[in-house]
């Protein structure tokens, strides 16, 4: 019985074919391939053209696994053995189609999975490349804008101090306001780039939260008046007066939310509320919220408004569309999340919770009044001492001229110029300067390199000269690099006249 089963199995699945040395069929058991005697095997299937090659081998037996015979042989997948015999070649064909079809399904799934994972990796790489390109573009773009913007701001200030008609003064005021807006937009673009590239680091310091909120009350009450709106500030009594956090970034978050609220509110009010959620140890969890009675946001747009450069259709096309993405990014850095409740036609409420340290002792410096330029000028004039001798190192003639005018206007400085980085050291050695104002980007030798040379110089009166660096690179890592080189103060272009004078006075007074 067993022999019958065995014979049946082999008759269905294995075929024996005998050929001569030229591959002509001498015998075939016709199990599943119908082959006429005398046929060249090459005509049965192109595979059998290899018989002649087998004949040339020294081995007596050659195996071919998993040969797909295709249409010629009813899609069979077979293993083939070829044995050298005295008559020629014995070909044994094993039909293993079922076995190989299941193997094929496994291979298909394995290969597809590998290819898909490779494609995901490639897609991620492509996205990373794009992100890198975008951030580099933002970096270059903001750098290139800073120099001309510095000139525009300085020229506007100089013009404002000349004899002008009332109409001209009004136009200059508009120009000043536009400059400020442009500067804010530039800072926004830079912030979003820094957040995206992970280069924005929070700078935690103790500051007065109540002072910050008073500043916002002052700023936005005026704006509310202009727009015939009401601005409310609800400052809970339990909210700590002083906290430790990044004042600049909290201010940036709140101004972005308030600007957004004012932009979309035609009538009614805008309200900023600060409440204490809870306190523990020296920490305070607070909820900040900005609500308005404006147009509201459609449900389908809520997700998208936090994406860069997105603006919902409200008819208020102004703005860069960067405010809310910056809020989102900064809050994420602070371990928080901006939330939104809004209904079309029924106003919006943006809110977030942040945990800030409540300092046990507030630093005296937080309350100390800053020296003003006028104070510095007065002190200098009363002292009767000679004017400060300043070396101004700047290669851009327009910026050079504007800085010169600004410094000259203060009436406390004598100024020398240098524009070539390679000649600065020589000038410094001959000049006996009280301070150096130096652009970082100079022809031949950069300002940070010159600073390093000065700081390493063996003569004390040279190596101790205070240096104010000017740069169009606003990234924290660049600033840190210049400070490490030995620059005492760094100013990022563009800056206001007052800021420059304040920094120079601070430098020479110390």
Partner 1 sequence: MRVSKKIVVLGHFGVGKTSLIRRFVEDSFSNDYKVSIGVHITKKVVEITAGNQVSLILWDLEGTDDLSNIRDSYLLGTHGLIYVFDVTRPSTFENINGDLRIVGEKLPNAPKIVVGNKVDLVVPEDLDRLLQRQGITYDYLSSAKTGGMVNDLFLHLAKMLSSDAKKI
3-class state of residue 241 by DSSP: coil
> Rounded to the nearest whole angstrom, what is the least distance from the CB of residue 66 to partner 1 in the complex?
3
**CB nearer to partner 1: pick between 49 and 268:** 49
User: Is the bond preceding 494 in cis, omega lying within 30 degrees of 0?
Assistant: yes
Among 49, 236, 268, 443, binds partner 1 (CB under 8 A): 49
What is the DSSP code string of 133-160?
HHHHHHHHHHHHHHHHHHHHHHHHHHHH
The DSSP call for residue 385 is P
Q: Which stretch binds partner 1 (CB under 8 A): 33-41, 96-104, 214-222, 480-488?
A: 96-104
**Binding status of residue 66 toward partner 1 by CB under 8 A:** yes
Residue 46 touches partner 1, criterion: CB under 8 A:
yes
Interatomic CA distance for residues 494 and 471, integer angstroms: 9
Ramachandran bin of 138, using left for φ above 0, alpha for ψ from -120 to 50, beta for the remaining angles: alpha
| Residue 140 C-beta: closest distance to partner 1, Å | 21
CB of 26 to partner 1, least distance (A): 22
Q: Is 9 among the residues that bind partner 1 (CB under 8 A)? A: no
Look at the alpha carbons of 288, 364, 501, 449 in this order and tell me if their dihedral is positive or negative. Answer: negative
The residue (of 122 and 164) whose beta carbon lies closer to partner 1 is 122
Q: State in angstroms the smallest separation of the CB of 53 from partner 1.
A: 3
Least distance between partner 1 and beta carbon 118 (Å): 6
Site string for partner 1, 189-218 (x = CB under 8 A): ------------------------------
Q: Which of 45, 139, 183, 247 binds partner 1 (CB under 8 A)?
A: 45
Q: Does 63 bind partner 1 (CB under 8 A)?
A: yes
State yes or no: residue 385 binds partner 1 (CB under 8 A). no
Q: By C-beta, is 63 or 133 nearer to partner 1?
A: 63
Q: Quick one: 67 or 334, whose CB is closer to partner 1?
A: 67
d(CA 417, CA 419): 7
**Can residue 17 be called a binding residue for partner 1 (CB under 8 A)?**
no
Exposed/middle/buried for residue 194 (C-beta within 10 Å: 0-12, 13-18, 19+):
buried
Two tokens, residue 60: 């007596």
Nearer to partner 1, 66 or 480 (CB): 66
| Binding segment toward partner 1, per CB under 8 A, in 22-30, 60-68, 391-399, 401-409 | 60-68
The crossing angle, in degrees rounded to 10, of helices 447-455 and 424-431 is 40
Q: Is 112 in the site for partner 1 (CB under 8 A)?
A: yes
CA–CA dist 505, 434 (Å, integer): 11
All residues at 6 or more sequence positions from 504 whose CB lies less than 8 Å from its CB, including other chains? 390, 407, 410, 413, 435, 437, 468
> Out of 13, 31, 39, 62, which residue is the one contacting partner 1 (CB under 8 A)?
62
* Closer CB to partner 1, 105 or 202, in the complex: 105
Which DSSP string do the residues of 94-144 spell out, in sequence order?
EE-HHHHHHHHHHHHHHHHHHHHHHHHHHHHHHHHHHHHHHHHHHHHHHHH
Burial of 345 (0-12, 13-18, 19+ CB in 10 A): exposed
Would strands 467-471 and 435-439 be described as parallel, antiparallel, or unpaired?
parallel
Taking the C-alpha atoms of residue 406 and residue 35, their distance in angstroms, rounded to an integer, is: 103
Beta bridge pairs of residue 16 = 92
The least CB distance from residue 130 to partner 1, in Å, is 13
Could you report how far apart the first and last alpha carbons of the chain are, in Å? Answer: 111
Q: Where are the beta strands (DSSP E) in 203-326?
A: 205-208, 230-235, 242-245, 269-280, 283-292
The values of phi and psi at residue 360, to 5°, are -75, -45
CB 44 to partner 1: min, Å: 12
Contact letters for partner 1, residues 122-161 (x by CB under 8 A): x---------------------------------------
- Binding part of the chain for partner 1, among 31-39, 101-109, 152-160, 389-397 by CB under 8 A, reads 101-109
> How many binding residues for partner 1 (CB under 8 A)?
32
304: contact with partner 1 by CB under 8 A: no
Cβ proximity to partner 1, 125 vs 171, nearer residue: 125
Rounded-to-integer distance, Cα 325 and Cα 186, Å = 15
Distance of closest approach, residue 306 Cβ to partner 1, in angstroms: 32
Among 104, 181, 414, 426, binds partner 1 (CB under 8 A): 104
Minimum CB–partner distance for residue 104 and partner 1 (Å)? 5
Residue with tokens 């190192």: 393
Interface pick for partner 1 out of 12, 20, 98, 118 (rule CB under 8 A): 118
- Helix (H) / strand (E) element for 348: namely strand 348-357
**Shortest approach of partner 1 to residue 309 CB, angstroms?**
25
Q: Least CB distance from residue 254 to partner 1, whole Å?
A: 45
Site for partner 1 in 249-268 (CB under 8 A): none
**Contact with partner 1 (CB under 8 A) among 11, 22, 60, 65:** 65
- What residue ranges bind partner 1 (CB under 8 A)? 42, 45-47, 49-50, 52-54, 56-57, 62-68, 70, 77, 100, 103-104, 107-108, 111-112, 114-115, 118-119, 122
């Amino acid at each position: 019985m067993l022999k019958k089963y065995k014979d049946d199995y082999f008759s269905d699945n294995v075929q024996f074919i005998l050929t001569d040395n030229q591959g002509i069929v001498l015998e075939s058991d016709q199990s599943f391939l119908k082959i006429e005697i005398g046929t060249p095997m090459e005509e049965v299937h192109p595979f059998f053209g290899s018989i002649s090659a087998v004949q040339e081998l020294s081995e007596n037996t050659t195996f071919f696994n998993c040969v797909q015979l295709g249409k010629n042989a009813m899609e069979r997948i077979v293993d083939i053995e070829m044995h050298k015999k005295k008559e020629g070649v014995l070909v044994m064909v094993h039909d293993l189609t079922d076995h190989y079809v299941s193997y094929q399904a496994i291979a298909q799934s394995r290969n597809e999975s590998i290819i898909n994972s490779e494609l995901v990796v490639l897609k991620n790489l492509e996205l990373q490349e794009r992100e890198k390109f975008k951030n580099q573009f933002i970096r270059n773009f903001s750098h290139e804008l800073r120099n001309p913007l510095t000139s525009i701001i300085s020229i506007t200030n100089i013009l404002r101090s000349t004899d002008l008609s009332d109409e001209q003064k009004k136009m200059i005021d508009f120009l000043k306001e536009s400059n400020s807006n442009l500067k804010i937009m530039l800072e926004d673009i830079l912030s979003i780039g820094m957040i995206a590239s992970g280069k924005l680091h929070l700078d935690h310091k103790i500051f007065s939260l109540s002072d910050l909120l008073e500043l916002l009350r002052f700023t936005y009450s005026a704006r509310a008046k202009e727009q015939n709106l009401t601005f409310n500030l609800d400052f809970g009594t339990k909210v700590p007066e002083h906290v430790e956090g990044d004042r600049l970034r909290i201010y940036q978050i709140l101004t972005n939310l308030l600007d957004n609220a004012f932009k979309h509110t035609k009538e009614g009010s805008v309200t900023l509320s600060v409440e204490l959620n809870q306190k523990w140890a020296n920490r305070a969890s607070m909820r900040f919220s900005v609500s308005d009675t404006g147009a509201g946001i459609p449900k389908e747009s809520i997700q998208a408004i936090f994406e860069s450069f997105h603006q919902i259709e409200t008819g208020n096309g102004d703005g860069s569309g960067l405010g809310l993405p910056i809020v989102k990014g900064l809050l994420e850095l602070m371990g928080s999340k901006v939330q939104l409740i809004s209904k079309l036609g029924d106003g919006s409420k943006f809110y977030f919770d942040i945990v800030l340290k409540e300092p046990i002792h507030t630093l005296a410096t937080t309350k100390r009044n800053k020296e003003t330029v006028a104070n510095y000028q007065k002190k200098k004039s009363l002292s009767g001492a000679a004017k400060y001798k300043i070396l101004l190192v700047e290669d851009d003639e327009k910026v050079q001229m504007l800085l010169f005018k600004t410094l000259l206007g203060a009436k406390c400085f004598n100024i020398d110029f240098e524009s070539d980085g390679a000649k600065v050291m020589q000038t410094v050695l001959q000049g006996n300067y009280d301070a150096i104002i130096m652009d970082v980007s100079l022809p031949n030798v950069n300002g940070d390199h010159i600073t390093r040379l000065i700081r390493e110089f063996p003569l004390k009166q040279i190596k101790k000269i205070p240096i104010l660096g000017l740069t169009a690179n606003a990234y924290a890592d660049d600033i840190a690099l210049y400070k490490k080189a030995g620059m005492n103060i760094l100013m990022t272009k563009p800056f206001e006249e007052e800021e420059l004078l304040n920094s120079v006075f601070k430098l020479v007074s110390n």
